Amino acid sequence: MGMIRCETHGLTPLIMTSPDLAALVKKRLRDAEAEIFSVLYVYLGTVAMAFYPSKDFADAHSLRACVGPLPDELDEWSRETVPCCARCFERAFGGEFGNDHQWRRAR
């Protein structure tokens, strides 16, 4: 995970998400309903890149939730994803990122 400067959280971990979810985070929603996919790429035994698109974005780009090897070149869809504060994202959608980088909705 890289870092981002968030107005609320200061210097904080960033995640990459789809523009539709990023727009919801900007509205400062709390525990909003959203189906979120974890698309994780592993390099040298650890998750090197992680994307958290909405189901709509995933469907539009024929993406599936996966843990796979880092491709030589990322697909076109990855350029449409945007950086977002991980903590704001967790708050907006009522879940958390696990140590395995998987998104989990809290019960």
Contacts with Zn ion, residue ranges (CB under 5 A): 6, 8-9, 85, 87-88
Residue for token pair 């843990």: 67
CB of 12 to Zn ion, least distance (A): 6
Look up residue 7 and give its two tokens: 């107005």
In this structure, how many other beta carbons lie within 10 angstroms of the beta carbon of residue 107? 5
CB of 102 to Zn ion, least distance (A): 20
Beta carbon nearer to Zn ion, 28 or 104? 28
Beta carbon nearer to Zn ion, 13 or 19? 13
Q: How far apart are CA 89 and CA 59, in angstroms?
A: 21
CB of 75 to Zn ion, least distance (A): 27
For CA atoms 69, 45, 73, 85, the dihedral sign is positive
Beta carbon nearer to Zn ion, 31 or 75? 31
